[in-house]
Structure 1
Amino acid sequence: MIGDAYQHSSNGKEWVLVNKKDRPIFKAGDTMTLKFFGNYKGGKPAPDGSALLMNMGVDSWKFDTAPDHDNSKYNYNDVLYKSILFYETQRSGKLPASNRIPYRGDSALHDQGENGEDLTGGWYDAGDHVKFNFPMSYSTTVLTWGYLLFPEAYKAAGQEDEFLDCIRWPLEYLLKCHTGPNELYVQVGDGNRDHNYWGPPEKMTMPRPSYKITASKPGSDVAMETAAAMSAGYLAFKHKVTIFISQLLLYKATGEAKYKQAIEGTYRSWFPGGDIKYTPKGLAFRLQWASLRYASNMAMGALIAAKLGVNPGPYRHWAMCQIHYALGDTGFSYLIGFGNKGYPRSPHHRSSSCPNLPAPCGPFVRASSEPNVHILYGALVGGPGGGDDYSDNRMNYVNNEVATDYNAGFTTAIAALKHLYIKKLHPE
């Protein structure tokens, strides 16, 4: 038997069958022979029946609101659009009617604190289904910072409303997590249990414990990052679109000359000839695990420093080169679903690898060499090794996983480059 009964009507006349887990994938050109057997107690006419075969792995994505091309070398409008779509893919909780991700549904609806507090919502961190508030709040802060600094980039790309909806999702969750004057939930889900589960978040059944910080169990880093996210969100939704206040105050308080010196010292170590090594094709390579994350974050920092007047010419050019490396300058785009030079097809990401329900998913899908059945539009994969080497393999979580923080600095850097393009200050 190649199928398992999934459900049937009350009269037993309509059945839904799904393929067995040991036969998860059928390729183009495969021949399937289906046999149905039944017994009946005589009589005429003999019973008949019909079957409808459905490919539950088909990606039903339709781009109905994609932005126009802005005529830059890499369509920054499209990059911003798709990066926001990636964050929608990461949503946990009850999804709105406006959900644009066809293979995502409601999930983790029972996430709660130890006293039953509602902790639904937020973003899943990466290719897994844990909600880690430190990277979530960091990502929210950095994304919002980019909007505060470069609002015209999102407006020109036609993505302002979508962006504000994007950051509203984690901000509303972070508000739920502050359950008392000295109490903040900072994680939902157990990493070990979660990482042993390969399936869509909609079908999770394992325990999802919650963890909090208190006065007796402090966590100043995550508390301050959460505060930063809420402060940035306040500014964004109050429409005080100006240079992010904390950055400007830091620049003034430490003295322009001293601050400029600190920035330049940092970037001397990152520019060619400094401490950071470069791949043969030009990526500033700090670490093996998610190399593009570090280069993108530093590109973002360079573009913000340039906006403050620190070495605008060389900083903008260097940042552009790092971001364009990710977008396709090497002949390959590390942003999934972007460009015509090829991009990753098998990211380490559970929900995009699993066929549509009710088809089964599990470790057999993770280990398969077939591409993910759904294109994870807008996700930036970890990136190459030190020799520009890269393996598009679902098992390769070092180079081929995705995460909310991978996209955060990258997206703000894109907004900065879009701003420069609008102002006719772009390095190209």
Structure 2
Amino acid sequence: MSGKVALLVLSLGLCLIMAVRARVDYNNRYASASHNYKDALTKSILFFEGQRSGKLPSTQRMRWRGDSALADGADQHVDLSGGYYDAGDNVKFGFPMAFTTTMLSWSVVEFGQYMGDDLQHAMDAVRWGTDYLLKATSQPGVIYVQVADPNMDHRCWERPEDMDTSRNVYKVDSQHPGSDVASETAAALAAASLVFESTDKSYSNLLLQTAMRVFDFADKYRGSYSDALSSEVCPFYCSYSGYRDELLWAAAWLQKATGNPSYVNYIQTNGPNLGADDGDNIFSWDEKHAGARVLLAKEFLVKNVKSLEDYRGHADSLICSLLPETSSSQYTPGGLLFKMSESNLQYVTSTSFLLFTYAQYLDISKQVVKCSNGVVTPTRIRTLAKRQVDYILGDNPLGMSYMVGYGTKFPQHIHHRGSSLPSVYHHPQKISCNDGFNLGLNGNGPNPNILVGAVVGGPDNNDQFRDDRNDYSHSEPATYINAPFVGALAALARYM
């Protein structure tokens, strides 16, 4: 019996060794993979042209799109044309649009020097957002935060060029505050002011002056826009985390853009009450604490602003919490960071951007992160971020690129109205609401228009993905998925 037991133990041991080796080989194979990050970068920026609302310029490269929603705001005697549709619908949600603009701007600020010929296109994408946000904030004491009733919009499957659903306009003001959406708007304008600082000084100044005014409004009239506009913004873009994180985030951007010590004083005084030491490691259109910690950590690491030293510690803790060997973050069997079951890739792209950005700050200051289980170098942080980018671009168990138009295998049935219906240039006749459902959402064929560069919601926690238009939580692209991915790709493009 002892011989059989020994043989059994030996067999189990060999199986375990083989399993470990297989896992190591699997990880090494993906870790060593390389992609054309410049091509992916170009496509990630091009995507935003497919999301444009308003009068399209002569330089429009996404040629299957046409003009749309030219009269937005007319009922309220305000011009709200332009801006971006957030995802696969035809609503202009101000909250995620502002975050998208902030992240596009941060991508240019940190990694624009590596974008090459794509830099101008990235700046154009930022300006398309800021031009709209300036319109939305043109009246003092009022911020227009949404165009279109999402409930009505979602009952129709129409091309943007065919829209005939309600284009109601929604706003916040002193009687109906929205500190979250107002602060994010201020952050976007402040961040963008840095993008245009050297190329268009007057525009940069306009953005910054407006950002300061909007932030003062957000701070003075505190409240969540979800309370004032609950039926219009919930459950679509409810401010689930409240407005404290946005106030801190906006103050951080204004401090960076102005260098005014009053914003440092604001952060010192209000930071603890605004959740500055909140341990959550999610970064998204709704939750900004992680981004604010990294942004403020730079002021200490690179600019030696002593009063912000605590944020270096907060940012270090964020990095430690994202390591795969810790219990604070979940990864799929294929190595993808997994935060939420719906549109998980938005958290992957935003987190990857933070990792690349903080690694750069550490390099400049010649620092490392000290975690409870050892030292984490900037190189290791970048390796973790690169693994996430590579997964999205196709190094995953399905061999699927989750960026439309990149690679040979990518989603063909994305949840997107304009992409799923024939272009107005090939089918100029109006496609009605119900016909759109039959032809687009419920159609069997691949989308006739390729929304190049769009990153969809992504796979589930077991690395599985159904290429199905009706599965919007996994097959729908969004501007706030792509925006931080632009910076992450630019960070990698520098090494090509």
Give the TM bin, normalised by the shorter chain: 0.7 to 0.9
Counterpart of 1:203 in structure 2 is 162
Give secondary structure in 1 for the equivalent of 2:170. Answer: strand
Counterpart of 2:405 in structure 1 is 337
Counterpart of 2:444 in structure 1 is 369
The partner residue of 2:317 within 265, 270, 275 is 265
Counterpart of 2:287 in structure 1 is none
Give the TM-score normalised by the residue count of structure 2.
0.67
Query: Matches of 2:93 and 2:71 in 1, distance apart?
Result: 17
Query: Matches of 2:318 and 2:107 in 1, distance apart?
Result: 21
Aligned ranges 1:49-64 → 2 under 5 Å: none
Between 357-366 and 88-97, report the one with greater CA deviation.
357-366
Counterpart of 2:487 in structure 1 is 412
Provide, for residues 125-178 of structure 1, a one-character-per-residue CA deviation record: whole Å limited to 9, x for no partner. 1000100111111111111111111122112xx112211111111111111111
CA contact (8 A) 2:38 2:490 kept: no
CA contact (8 A) 1:352 1:374 kept: yes
Query: Matches of 1:388 and 1:250 in 2, distance apart?
Result: 39
Query: Matches of 1:198 and 1:250 in 2, distance apart?
Result: 49
Which ranges of structure 1 fall in alignment gaps of 5 or more residues? 1-71, 423-428
Counterpart of 2:428 in structure 1 is 358
Question: Structure 1 residue 249 and structure 2 residue 289: aligned?
Answer: no
Offset, 1:206: 1.2
Counterpart of 1:392 in structure 2 is 467
Provide, for residues 197-242 of structure 1, a one-character-per-residue CA deviation record: whole Å limited to 9, x for no partner. 101010111111011111111111111111111112211112289x
Offset, 1:397: 0.4
Offset, 1:73: 2.2
Counterpart of 2:276 in structure 1 is none
Q: What amino acid sits opposite 1:210 in the alignment?
A: V
Aligned ranges 1:73-84 → 2 under 5 Å: 73-84=34-45
The partner residue of 1:321 within 382, 387, 401 is 387
| Paired positions, count | 346
Going from structure 1 to structure 2, the CA distance change for 1:254 and 1:396 (only over 3 Å counts) comes to: farther
CA contact (8 A) 1:141 1:232 kept: yes
Q: What amino acid sits opposite 1:119 in the alignment?
A: L
Aligned ranges 1:6-155 → 2 under 5 Å: 73-112=34-73, 115-155=76-116
Counterpart of 2:345 in structure 1 is 292
Give secondary structure in 2 for the equivalent of 1:362. Answer: helix
Higher Rg? 1
Offset, 1:249: 3.2
Q: What amino acid sits opposite 1:75 in the alignment?
A: N
- Taking only aligned residues, the RMSD between alpha carbons, in angstroms, comes to 2.0
Question: Structure 1 residue 301 and structure 2 residue 354: aligned?
Answer: yes
CA contact (8 A) 2:38 2:489 kept: no
Counterpart of 2:240 in structure 1 is none
Query: Matches of 2:339 and 2:87 in 1, distance apart?
Result: 21
Query: Matches of 2:306 and 2:354 in 1, distance apart?
Result: 18
CA contact (8 A) 1:179 1:185 kept: no
Query: Matches of 2:174 and 2:58 in 1, distance apart?
Result: 39
Provide, for residues 372-428 of structure 1, a one-character-per-residue CA deviation record: whole Å limited to 9, x for no partner. 111110000000100001101011101010110011111111112223x16xxxxxx
CA contact (8 A) 2:92 2:146 kept: yes
Offset, 1:113: 5.8
Counterpart of 1:58 in structure 2 is none
Provide, for residues 328-371 of structure 1, a one-character-per-residue CA deviation record: whole Å limited to 9, x for no partner. 1112100000012x000110000010013235451112112211
Provide, for residues 65-112 of structure 1, a one-character-per-residue CA deviation record: whole Å limited to 9, x for no partner. xxxxxxx92112111211121100000011112221222111101100
Query: Matches of 1:113 and 1:199 in 2, distance apart?
Result: 21
Give the TM-score normalised by the residue count of structure 1.
0.77
Query: Matches of 1:185 and 1:338 in 2, distance apart?
Result: 36
Counterpart of 1:159 in structure 2 is 118
Q: What amino acid sits opposite 2:476 in the alignment?
A: E
Provide, for residues 281-324 of structure 1, a one-character-per-residue CA deviation record: whole Å limited to 9, x for no partner. 10011111111111111111111111111430211110000111
Work out the percentage of aligned pairs sharing the same amino acid.
41
Provide, for residues 234-257 of structure 1, a one-character-per-residue CA deviation record: whole Å limited to 9, x for no partner. 11112289x982634366446676
